[in-house]
Each structure stands twice: as C-alpha cells, then as structure tokens.
C-alpha cells in the first residue's frame, strides 16, 4: 500500500521508478492480490496511466484485465475500471493538434492491441455478455470498447457477433435504454456494426430497428432535431443501401408513409441551422436509396408508387418550388425528385402537372430549364436540373412528344416561354455549358422514339432578318462547321448521332446537304490535338451511322459510295482507329457508370450516360459495315432471305405442334370422360346383376311356396275343390309371370339397342382415326366427335335410369305377388286344425298320385316352364350387360392407342424442328460472322405469341360459324 500511495500521492525520497516499472508492479498486484479492494485499486491505477503509457499498459496489462472481466463479475466497479482501461489502449484519439506521424502511430497501436484482444474470439462474446449488465459503469464503457473494436477491425468483430447467440439482439436492446448517453453510443455502435454486412443488416432490420429509429427521430424533432437524428438517419442509410431485402421490408412495413412529415418545412424558410441542413440532406439521401437506379426495376417501381400514393412526391415538389431553401438542399431535392419519377409514368405525369407559384403560373419543367440554361446558376444545380429533365423523359414517350411539340410551328405561343424555346436558346447561346446541356436534353427527347425524330425534322429556325428559315438539323451542322468550343461540338454531335440513328429519313435529310459529308471526312482525316481527337471520333461515329442506316435513296450517297469515299480520303483502318478513340476516353468510362451527371468541373462535362450505351451498341456494327464488300452484303441478303424462309417454316411447325397439342389435350379429356362413364356403367351393370340374382332367388322361393300352397289346398278341401282353387291361383300368377316375361323381353331389346349404339360409336371413332392425317379438319372433327360422344353418353345415362325404374317396378310387383301368395296360403290353411292334418293331407297326395287329374297338374307345369324361360332371359340379360362392359373397355383401349400414336407423331415433329433449329443456328452464326445483327429468340417468341393469339381467335370464330 505504501508503494501505491507513493505512486498516487506525494513524492517519496530517493530515485523514482519508471512508468514501465510502475505498470509492471501494478500488474503483479492485479495478478497476485487476494483482496478485491487491492485488485480494484491496482486496476484504477492502471486506468489512470493508460493514456500516458498506452504502449506499456497495453503490452503488460491486457491479459490481466481480461482475466478480471472473467473472474470479478460480481463487482461492477472493478469491471468498469477494466473496461475503461481497455478502451483507452484500443481507442485511437482523434486530436486535431497531433501531426500526421503521431496520428499514424496511434492508429497502429490501436490496430495492434485490437488484434491482441481479438486473438481469442471468446473475449468479444464476454463483452456481449457484460452488455447485459444494467449498471451504468459497466454498460457504457462496454459499448464504447466494442465500438472501438469495430472501428479498428470491423470484419473480424462482425463475424464473431454474427455467430454469437443473441449477439445482435443484445446490441439492439441498447436503443431501448432510458439513459440517453448509452442509447446514443448504441447508435454509433450499430452504425459501425452494420457497415458492409448484409447479413447483420437483415438481422438488425428484423429486430424492429426501423420502428425504433423512426420513433427516436420523431421524439427528437425530425429535421429540427440534433445530432441524434443524424445518427439515426446514418444507421437507416446503412440498413437500406444496396440491401433489397431490407428495402422491401421497409416498404411493406408502411415506413415510407412515415417519412412524409420530415419534409414539411413550412412557409418560413429563413432560419436553417447547419444541423437542420445536415438532417434534411440525409433524409433526402434516404429517399434516394429506396428509388436508386441501381436497385432492381421491380423494387424501385414499387417504392415510387408508394411515394406517390402517400403524398411524399407532392411534398418534395413543394420544397422544389419553395423560396428561401438553401442551395444544397434545393439541389439534393431536385436529384431526389428525379429518381422518384424516373421510369414511373404516373409520377412523370404528376411532375408534368406541377406549376411554380408565379404570376402567371409556369410549369415546373420550364422553371427548371430556365435555371439550366442560365450560366449564373451554380454548376451543381444546373447538373441536377439536367438529371431531372432526363429522368422525366426516361421511358416516357408521352413526355417526349410534349417537349418536341413545343418546337413545332403550329404549337408555338409567342406570349409564353416553352420548354422548346428554352432548349433552342440554350443550344445556340454563347455559353458552351448551356449548349451541351440543351443538346443532351433535346437528345433525351428523341431517345428510342422514331416518331419524334421525324417530327423534329419539321422544325424551322429564323436565323436572321431577311434570310429564309433553316431546319434545326441544318443549323446544328452549321454551328459544327463554324469551329466552336469542344464542349459545344461534342454536345451537338451527340444530338445528331442520337437523332439520325435508326431513322433512315433523318439520314436522308442529313445527307441531302452537300456540305455535311465533306465536312465530316475533312474533320476525320486531319491530324489534330488530343482534345480534337474526341471530336474526330464522334464525327466518325456520325458518318458510320449514315452508312449503317442508309436506305440508298440518294444516288450520290449510297452505302457503297460512302464506303468508297472513306477508303479513298480517310482509310478504313484510320477511320476505325478514330472511331475507337471515343470508348477509350476517360470521361466516357466515367459517364457510363451511372445515369446521374456528376462532374468535378464544367469542362469535364463531355459525355452523357445514355449516349455511351448508343456508342457501345453501334461501334461494332459500324466497323463491320465499313469493312464489308458488296459481295458480302449480297451474301448477307441471301442469308437473310434463307433465314426468313426457315423462320416461316419454323413458325408453321410451331403452329402445327400447337394444334396437335390442343387436339391431344381434347382427346385426353374425351378419354377421361369416357373412362369415367365406363366406370359408372360398369357399376350400374354390377348392381343390375346383383338385383337379377336377387330376383332369381325370390322366384325360386315363390315357386316353392306356390307348390306347398297347392298341396295344402288339395289335402284340406278335396280333389275337385283343389283343382278349382289351384286353377285360380295358377291363373293369377301366370298373368303376373307373363307380365314379367314381357318386361324381361323389353329389357333384352333395350340392351340390344345399346349394343347397336356402341357399335355406331366404335365406327365413329374409326372415322376420327382415319381423318387424323388431315391438319385442316382435325379441330372440326374433334368438336363433332366430342358432341357425338356427349350425346351417346347422355343417351346411355337415360337408358340406365329407365332400367333402374323398371327394376324398381319389378320389385314392387314381386312384393305384391308375394303378398297375394301369402294371403292365399293363410286363407287356405285356416280350416286345418293342426299341423298333423296338413301332414296327413300331404301324405295322402303322395300315396295317391294317380287319383290327381293331369289337367290339375298342367297349370303348375306351365308355371315352371315360364319360370325357366324367365331365368334364361335373365341370364341373357346378364350376358348382354357383360358384353356392354367389354365394348366400353375396348373403346377405352382404342382411345389410349390413339393418344400414343399422337405422341409419337409429335415426337417426330419435334425431331424435325430440332433439325431446323440447328440449321437456323448455323445460318445465324454465319450472319454474326459477317457482322449482321440478329434478332433474339425472345423477340421471335413474342411475335409467335401475338400470332398465336390471332390464330386462336380466328379458329374460334370459324368453329362458331360451323356450329351455327
């Protein structure tokens, strides 16, 4: 203790120990002391020395401090001292007064000690466990230490936290801490944790981070809040940027709607603090993250739709037209609105309807274009306006038509300023940046729109008094020939290339001027400086477009003559070299990266993003077109014709296969229907067989009963009375049995009729198979066959129902017959006093058979004969039913064989089609080798789809007419 007091207290006499010696002794006390108080005092002393002697403390004490964290978990004070000491030796203090070398040494020490701490991944897990402690002196230094580790070795710490159970959840609990300092440092920790790790970003998002962060932003005052709002917004940007899963979760959770109140800046825009500008700038960046062009088109479109529906776009347009907004906020708002409307038709239509609060009101597009062509406006603002105009016209043919219409003579209003007038004014002004911006903007009005390219040829300009008007196309070439600035000429050349590409009429107009081709060849053939080489390359591109899209309508400037002119005056190799210089330019590569025009200075604004796509598309085909000879072109034409023929053959085979697929499907449905009907009829026949068997048994029982009744009647009343009564009973039952025989005959006739109908059906199927080879009659025969099958099945179903009714009637009559027989037996057996009398009568009849008259036995014999005939008839009926089942099964087998034959024919057609496809691929490869552009399979399939829909509609109409 005396030594410790000497270190912390007054100066004792004698030589003083060095810092390293003191730290060594303190580390020994931490390691060897058994009392918690001694260890606590030693750790506190190390903390006080950790900033001055950072290297010594980090080298000697780190292991002892980690051991303290592991063993002394019950004492929050010593834990806090240990965590603070570790933070001091790992954290890099960012002090401005330090020079670069000192700062570099500090960073190296921080990385060194961070690696030492992370050598054991359990140390990070230990830190995460300590963060569960609610004690302020433990939790706060733990948060700071983990943040410092993430700053020094982000990827390694992220990996440990990612595999740690509930690691991210423990860190998310920091946002719910009631102590603001811990919550705010927790935000900084999560910012470092979510950098560049999509997996952790997803986990944080699904831990309800969006809800918590938006609540904090609202509590802190939204855009008027302090630095806490800035930290929340930075964390939100980390979670959403380049993370489609989180973006979709953010949209589906209706969090976009909660962003709208952020941009309600009010009417008084005079007081904008630096923090408010920063917050609003980050809020605008957050909106842009959701609708960035680098996102997937589907996700971007969905977010754009949500922003329009919740009124966020309307709120942004309000800021756009407000006064007193700082320039950087206005610029970022323009960029944000640009990406919110880019490619979304409904958002573009709304933006076109926005008017500025001026007198008279002017469209927002006109107001923005006025800023773009005004050279006194800031450069970044003019770039933002150009980007907004490009996004407004992106995939918006309606907007392109409206812009071009303001240039046409019939729509010009002298009393108002239109977008077309501003573009023409900027195109021919003295400011080269205005020339470039106007040319690029006008080129976007023509992008992928053949109609507007042709419409713009009608524009006439009055250059000066007393001179006839000239076309806009001619005026652009006139300015080119006057030798203006490089930026102006590059802009005009980009406009001309976009204008005449894929538009033979515009190419003809351009070539009609006799001065244009000599000017281009002269520019390309000269040897000029580095800046002029870019202009030469664009001139070569323009001349190449005139060759590639030339329809040979001008005799002096056909494709062949232009190629001969290049070979004589320029040289093919020199022409291709000048053309290739465009894509090798540094500014070309920079412009091709993203749609937004971002340039460090106005002089570097030379290329447009959409134009780079056009150059990439045309460079190869123009090079091949220049090198082609007339013979190669003829061969290409022949190959094209051959391909067209093969395409027509392929289309025919495709149509045939589609028809056969349809017919096979119809036949399959018919087979399934007939199979179902066959099963139903089989079940009905089985039921009928069981009923017939029941009838047989009942007839046998009835026959025995009638025999017994006749014998009892003879024994009780004598021979004469037995003859009379027996005749009466036998007569009664003979009539009923005759009715039964008639009904059985009727059933037999019905089964014969069914057999005939099934034979007709069999012949109809054979007819269908015979006609199968005719392609034009297949569909009609299928419909007729289906109708016949349907009628036959309905007929069979009705007959089966009638048979069931007849069987029910027979059962009713049988019950009535049994009832009558039982009544007769009861009547005849009443006089018998007992069973012995009946036995005696039966024995009398047996003993005296000769006393009975043959006439008395005749009715019984006839009845027996009738019953035997009825039995034979029922057996015939059973055989007929079994025959019907066999016929149905045979019919099912035939239909299955037909389906197999159809599949075999389809396989043959597919083999033939594969051969044709291989030939087509070979021909297309030949075309590609010759430099010809080949349409993709998707476009052919799209045409086939449209053709198929039309063919199906025509076939349906023909079928309806035939049915009528």
Contacts of 678-684 spanning 24+ positions with Cβ under 8 A: 678/885, 678/888, 678/889, 678/891, 678/892, 681/796, 681/800, 681/884, 681/885, 681/888, 682/885, 682/888, 684/800, 684/803, 684/804
| Residue carrying structure tokens 């606590």 | 40
Tokens representing 71?
Answer: 């063993």
Token pair in block for residue 953: 């509609």
The model's pLDDT over 77-87, given as tens digits with 9 standing for 90+, comes to 999 999 999 99
Query: What is the H or E stretch that residue 355 is in?
Result: strand 355-356
pLDDT in tens, 615-674: 999 999 899 888 876 566 666 666 667 777 777 788 888 888 888 888 888 888 888 888
The three-state secondary structure class of 356 is: strand
* CA distance from start to end of the chain: 116
Residue 723's pLDDT band, with cuts at 50, 70 and 90, is very low
What is the predicted pLDDT for the residue at 871?
64
pLDDT at 14 over 60: no
Q: Give the domains, in start order, of the chain with CATH numbers.
A: 208-353 (1.25.10.10), 397-628 (1.25.10.10)
Give the integer Cα–Cα distance in Å for 258 and 287.
12
Contact (Cβ atoms closer than 8 angstroms) between residue 351 and residue 337: yes
Gap between the Cα atoms of 202 and 257, Å rounded: 21
Beta partners for 363? 355
Q: E strand or H helix at 362, and its extent?
A: strand 362-363
Tens digits of per-residue pLDDT, 816-838? 766 765 564 454 444 433 333 33
Q: Among 550-559, 596-605, 900-909, 930-939, which is the least confidently predicted range?
A: 930-939
Contact 390, 595 (CB under 8 A): yes
Residue 570 backbone dihedrals phi, psi, to 5 degrees? -115, -45
Angle between helix 719-770 and 778-829 (nearest 10): 170
pLDDT band for position 842 (cuts 50, 70, 90)? very low
| Residue 628 CB coordination number (10 Å) | 19
The model's confidence at residue 337, banded by pLDDT at 50, 70 and 90, is very high
Q: How many CB atoms lie within 10 A of CB 89?
A: 27
Does residue 360 have a cis peptide bond before it, meaning omega lies within 30 degrees of 0? yes
Q: What is the DSSP string of 519-557?
A: HHHHHHHS---HHHHHHHHHHHHHHHHHHHT--S-SGGG
Alpha helices in 718-777 (DSSP H): 719-770
Query: Percentages helix, strand, coil for the chain, rounded to the nearest 5?
Result: 80, 0, 20
Q: pLDDT confidence of 693, banded at 50, 70, 90? A: confident
H or E stretch covering 363: strand 362-363
152-161, 392-401, 501-510, 716-725: least confidently modelled range: 716-725
User: For residues 306-339, b (16+ Cβ closer than 10 Å) or e, as one string?
Assistant: bbbebebbebbbbbbbbeebeeebbbbbbbbbbb
Mean pLDDT comparison of 163-177, 301-315, 406-420, highest-scoring range: 301-315
The stretch 6-34 carries a mean pLDDT of 70
Angle at 524 between CA 518 and CA 535, to 5 degrees: 110
**Residue pLDDT, tens place only, 236-274:** 999 999 999 999 999 999 999 999 999 987 665 567 889
């Amino acid at each position: 203790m005396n030594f410790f007091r000497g270190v912390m207290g007054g100066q004792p006499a004698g030589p003083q120990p060095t810092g390293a010696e003191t730290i060594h002794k303190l580390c020994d006390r931490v390691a060897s002391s058994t009392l918690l108080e001694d260890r606590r005092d030693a750790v506190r002393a190390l903390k006080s020395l950790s900033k001055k002697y950072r290297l010594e403390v980090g080298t000697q004490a780190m292991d002892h401090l980690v051991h303290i964290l592991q063993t002394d978990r019950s004492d929050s004070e010593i834990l806090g001292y240990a965590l603070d000491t570790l933070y001091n030796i790992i954290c890099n203090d960012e002090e401005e007064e330090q020079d670069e070398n000192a700062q570099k040494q500090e960073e190296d020490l921080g990385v060194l000690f961070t690696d030492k701490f992370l050598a054991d991944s359990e140390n990070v897990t230990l830190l995460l466990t300590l963060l569960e402690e609610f004690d302020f002196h433990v939790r706060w230094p733990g948060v700071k230490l983990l943040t410092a580790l993430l700053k020094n070795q982000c990827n390694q710490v992220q990996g440990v936290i990612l595999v740690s159970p509930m690691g991210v959840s423990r860190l998310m609990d920091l946002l719910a801490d009631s102590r603001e300092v811990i919550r705010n440092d927790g935000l900084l920790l999560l910012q470092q944790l979510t950098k560049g790790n999509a997996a952790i970003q997803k986990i944080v998002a699904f831990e309800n981070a969006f809800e918590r962060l938006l609540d904090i932003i609202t509590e802190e005052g939204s855009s008027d809040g302090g630095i806490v709002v800035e930290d929340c917004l930075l964390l939100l940007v980390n979670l959403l940027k380049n993370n489609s899963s989180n973006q979709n979760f953010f949209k589906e959770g209706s969090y976009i709607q909660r962003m709208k109140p952020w941009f309600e800046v009010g009417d008084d825009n005079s007081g904008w603090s630096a923090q408010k500008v920063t917050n609003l700038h980050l809020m605008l960046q957050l909106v842009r993250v959701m609708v960035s062009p680098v996102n997937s088109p589907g996700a971007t479109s969905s977010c754009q739709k949500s922003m329009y529906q919740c009124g966020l776009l309307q709120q942004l347009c309000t800021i756009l037209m407000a006064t007193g907004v700082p320039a950087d906020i206005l610029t970022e708002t323009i960029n944000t609105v640009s990406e919110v409307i880019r490619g979304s038709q409904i958002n573009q239509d709304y933006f076109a309807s926005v008017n500025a609060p001026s007198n008279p009101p002017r469209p927002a597009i006109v107001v923005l274009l006025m800023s773009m062509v005004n050279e006194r406006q800031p450069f970044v603002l003019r770039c933002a306006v150009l980007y907004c105009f490009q996004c407004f016209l992106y995939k918006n043919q309606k907007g392109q038509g409206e812009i071009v219409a303001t240039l046409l003579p019939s729509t010009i209003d002298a009393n108002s300023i239109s977008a077309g007038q501003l573009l023409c004014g900027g195109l021919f002004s003295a400011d080269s940046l205005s020339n470039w911006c106007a040319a690029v903007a006008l080129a976007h009005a023509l992008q992928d729109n053949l109609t507007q390219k042709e419409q713009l040829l009608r524009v006439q300009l009055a250059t000066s008094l007393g001179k006839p008007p000239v076309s806009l196309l001619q005026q652009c070439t006139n300015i080119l020939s006057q030798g203006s600035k490089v930026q102006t000429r590059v802009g005009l050349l980009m406009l001309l290339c976009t204008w005449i590409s894929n538009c033979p009429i515009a190419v003809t107009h351009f070539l009609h001027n006799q001065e244009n081709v000599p000017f281009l060849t002269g520019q390309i053939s000269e040897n000029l400086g580095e800046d002029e080489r870019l202009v030469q390359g664009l001139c070569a591109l323009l001349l190449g477009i005139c060759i590639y899209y030339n329809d040979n309508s001008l005799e002096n400037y056909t494709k062949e003559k232009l190629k001969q002119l290049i070979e004589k005056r320029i040289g093919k190799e020199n022409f291709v070299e000048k053309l290739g210089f465009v894509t090798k330019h540094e500014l070309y590569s920079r412009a091709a990266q993203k749609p937004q025009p971002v340039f460090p200075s106005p002089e570097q604004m030379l290329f447009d993003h959409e134009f780079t796509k056009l150059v990439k598309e045309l460079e190869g085909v123009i090079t091949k077109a220049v090198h082609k000879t007339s013979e190669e072109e003829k061969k290409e034409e022949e190959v094209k014709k051959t391909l067209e023929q093969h395409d027509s053959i392929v289309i025919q085979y495709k149509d045939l296969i589609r028809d056969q697929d349809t017919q096979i499907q119809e036949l399959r449905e018919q087979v399934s229907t007939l199979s179902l009907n066959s099963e139903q009829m089989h079940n009905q026949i089985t039921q009928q067989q069981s009923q017939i068997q029941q009838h047989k048994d009942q007839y046998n029982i009835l026959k025995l009963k009638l025999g017994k009744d006749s014998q009892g009647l003879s024994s009780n009343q004598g021979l004469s009375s037995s003859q009379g009564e027996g005749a009466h009973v036998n007569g009664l039952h003979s009539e009923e049995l005759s009715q039964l025989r008639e009904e059985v005959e009727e059933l037999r006739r019905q089964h014969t009729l069914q057999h005939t109908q099934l034979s007709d059906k069999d012949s109809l199927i054979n007819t269908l198979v015979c006609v199968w080879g005719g392609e034009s009659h297949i569909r009609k025969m299928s419909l007729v066959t289906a109708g016949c099958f349907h009628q036959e099945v309905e007929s069979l179903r009705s007959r089966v129902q009638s048979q069931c009714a007849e069987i029910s009637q027979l059962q009713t009559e049988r019950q009535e017959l049994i009832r009558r027989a039982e009544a007769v037996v009861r009547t005849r057996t009443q006089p018998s006093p007992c069973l012995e009398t009946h036995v005696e009568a039966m024995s009398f009849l047996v003993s005296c058979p000769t006393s009975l008259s043959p006439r008395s036995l005749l009715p019984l014999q006839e009845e027996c004969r009738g019953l035997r005939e009825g039995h034979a008839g029922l057996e015939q009926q059973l055989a007929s039913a079994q025959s019907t089942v066999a016929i149905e099964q045979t019919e099912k087998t035939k239909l299955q064989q037909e389906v197999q034959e159809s599949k075999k024919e389809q396989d043959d057609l597919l083999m033939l089609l594969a051969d044709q496809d291989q030939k087509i691929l070979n021909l297309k490869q030949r075309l590609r080798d010759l430099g010809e552009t080949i349409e993709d399979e998707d476009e052919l399939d799209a045409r086939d789809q449209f053709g198929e829909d039309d063919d199906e509609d025509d076939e349906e109409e023909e079928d309806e007419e035939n049915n009528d």
